[in-house]
A and B are shown apart, each in its own frame.
Chain A
Amino acid sequence: ADVDTIAILTPEQGSDYGWNQQGVDAAKAAAEATGVEIIVAEGLGYGDVRAPMREIAADGADLMIAHASGYNTAGPEIAEETGVAVAIVDSPDALVPGKVADYTLSGHEGAYLAGRLAAKMTTTGTVGIVVSGEPPSWNSQSAGFAEGVKAENPDVKILYSVIGPAAYSDAAGGNRVTTSVIAAGADIIFGQGNGSSFGMIQAVESNKATDGSDVLFIDVIGDKSELDKGHLLTSVLWDMTPVYTAMIEDLKADKFGTHGYSISLADDSVKLVKTPQVDEKAWEEVMALREQIIAGDIKVEPKFEAEDVRALVTVAE
């Protein structure tokens, strides 16, 4: 089929150094690589996305990337209604040839590596996971991180906390919870959140670990190193460009909707960011582990449930 225009729809502005920005940037890069036009619809919120989708379909988009798990009911319905191909997330079973394809994104392998790295580098023997909510992709990364930590050193304690009701933009809550987790002994924080993650970073920057050392932060999805003040350890970086490019190519080749897409360590669509804070030796060991995962010697299964995460973290006696 002819593909001349694609569209990406995101719930928030594409300037969050995270999920939305990575999506928008990748869609732009994929469009450029494949020579198609792109419509960017940012900040559509988590409510009913049918209205903008219908309109974008009417505007001539050939593929709509509905880049939020909240859009995965509306997406297929609109594809059915308008006949325009739609890509959705977090719905591995939702495939309709020519119309609906899923790209379930999970950086659990990357998070696993981050966990290994964290366990190597912690000096207090405790690491923390702070999240602003419990969507599946975050659960799978939290679980991956926890598994990595345990695999590296079963004695390292893992603390887990979800911020609170106003979480996504609750920067103050992010700061407060992270401060508590640091006070409980963590010196490396694996943080996932939108606006609230900046509160976590602020807490990491302004608190010392219980042993007096600096606290380090592990971010996800985006790359915040240009904002870093020396506390960013790494980031589990996602790059959706290969995914989106493949979608466009598939659509052109009439193969869209026959299979799902995902990101992986193998093609660097999931990778760890190296910062000056990373210990060289630890990094080399982690990179070796990466090869093992790619080779299939280490298996990391995604776990999407919040209970799975809680089962992995340390329960105080």
Chain B
Amino acid sequence: MGGLLTEAFLSSLFTGAIVAAIPMLLAGLGEQMSEKAGVLNIGIEGMMLMGAYMGFLVAFKTESLWLGFLGGILGGVLVAIVMAVLCVRLGLNQIVIGIGLTLGVEGLTALLHHFQFSRTYPRLPAPERLNIPGLTDLPVIGPSLFGRHLIVYLALIAVAVLAYLYRRTNLGMTLRAAGERPAALDVAGGNVLGIRVFATLFTGGMAGLGGAYLANIGAGLFIPFMTGGAGFIGIVLAMLARGRPLWVLIGSLIFGAALSMTTALQVAGSNIPTDVIQMLPFAAVMLVLVLFGRRAKLPSALGAAYERGAR
């Protein structure tokens, strides 16, 4: 494959891996917090899609990517509010509502896109990249690792911040208590519903940001159904990561790399049929599950609504 393995190409593969990984990373980090707190947030796909739509809409109208990201967060949080009210406050079934929200957002954003953008397909200008003299000029990894939009680094910083918060503050134990034995947290004076609502909204915000990244940086425009299951991958990453943000990062990078590799294999002219190549990322996750799945311990109260005093 010598001829194709140019520096630029390798660099673009690294870049591709990172670009593909960031939305899943953000979604996975968000879902992780919900799951810790005992909320199985199946609606994350819808939150992401709403984030993509709102993120693009705001970025396009205001011509500011940053406002676009805020819009994405807002979009995700809006959907998450519905989820928080219905599933955490009222205790409705998380699966039913999660699927319902995802379907609803898919329909709604496609509808809005149809009336707003389907005749013009507006696209955003190429995102600004952070140029760190010296680092960005490094061969191969330079442009992919250091030439990204600032939001990429914020996502990485979020990993560290969350890891710090989970480890060093009461946040981690409060979340775990809410997911493991909500009644224990309640009688200890903690606010079970409060922390669960917070976690759900956080998931919405992160998923929305991930969606906005997908639309604004990843694609440069909004297309209906464009998340295409990235939220579900986020759920899987969160479950595999056993509560550790760093593992979500590793997982999303591996998944992103696998996606990027499918391009590499094809561009290199591999004779393996495309469909087989495209199974690789999922097969890789299955392999991880077969090898290490038994360690993916989930919180005891995951998916169960908490009602005080009920037995």
Interface residues of A (CB under 8 A from B): 13, 15-17, 134, 157, 159-162, 164-166, 169-177, 179-185, 195-196, 198-199, 201-203, 205-207, 210, 224, 227, 229, 306, 310, 313-317
Contacts and interface: CB of A to CB of B under 8 A. Distances in A.
A160 B266 contact: yes
A121 B309 CA distance: 75
A229 B114 CA distance: 22
B133 interface: no
A169 B266 CA distance: 20
Nearest to B23: A172
Contact of B274 (A162, A198, A205, A206): A162
Contact of B269 (A134, A181, A313): A313
B134 interface: no
Given A162-B274, A172-B218, A199-B219, 7 more contacts: A16-B118, A172-B226, A195-B225, A206-B126, A210-B6, A315-B268, A316-B267
A160 B121 contact: no
B226 A170 contact: yes
A316 B264 CA distance: 11
A171 B218 CA distance: 8
A317 B3 contact: yes
B214 A180 contact: no
Given A134-B274, A161-B266, A15 B226 contact: no
Nearest to B127: A206
A159 B228 CA distance: 25
Interface of B: 1-6, 8-9, 11-13, 15-16, 19-20, 23, 114, 118-121, 123-127, 214-215, 218-226, 228-229, 259-260, 262-264, 266-269, 271, 273-274, 278, 282
Contact of B221 (A157, A165, A171, A224): A171
A177 B264 CA distance: 9
B81 to A, nearest CB: 26
B4 A184 contact: yes
A184 B268 CA distance: 10
A146 to B, nearest CB: 12
26 contacts: A134-B274, A160-B266, A162-B278, A165-B228, A166-B228, A169-B223, A169-B225, A169-B226, A171-B226, A173-B259, A176-B218, A179-B12, A181-B267, A183-B6, A184-B12, A184-B267, A195-B224, A196-B223, A198-B219, A199-B220, A199-B223, A201-B123, A206-B126, A210-B6, A310-B269, A317-B2
Contacts of B214: 172
A315 B8 CA distance: 18
A316 B4 contact: yes
Contacts of B127: 206
Contacts of A166: 228-229
Contacts of B16: 176-177, 179-180
A229 B229 CA distance: 31
Q: Which interface residue of A13, A177, A229, A317 has the most chain B CB atoms within 10 A? A: A177
Contacts of A185: 4, 6, 8-9
A180 B13 contact: yes
A165 B126 CA distance: 25
Given A15-B119, A227-B120, A210 B263 contact: no
Given A164-B278, A227-B121, A316 B268 contact: yes
A83 B224 CA distance: 36
Nearest to B221: A198
A316 B274 contact: no
Contacts of A170: 226, 228
A159 B267 contact: yes
A313 B268 CA distance: 10
A13 B219 CA distance: 21
B123 A316 contact: no
Given A175-B220, A210-B8, A306-B273, A205 B278 contact: no
Contacts of B269: 160, 310, 313-316
A66 B105 CA distance: 29
B250 to A, nearest CB: 20
Contact of B220 (A159, A180, A206): A206
Nearest to A224: B121
Contacts of A310: 269, 271
A316 B11 CA distance: 17
B263 A183 contact: no
Counting from the closest, the 3 A-B pairs by CB-CB distance are A166-B228, A206-B126, A183-B12
A235 B20 CA distance: 29
Contact of A206 (B15, B125, B225, B268): B125
Q: Which interface residue of B126, B220, B268 has the most chain A CB atoms within 10 A? A: B220
B219 A174 contact: yes
Contacts of B120: 227
A17 B121 contact: yes
B221 A199 contact: yes
B263 to A, nearest CB: 5
Nearest to B264: A180
Contacts of B263: 161, 176-177, 180-181
Contacts of A306: 273-274
Nearest to B267: A159
A206 B226 CA distance: 20
Contacts of B6: 183-185, 210
Contacts of A201: 123
Contacts of A207: 126
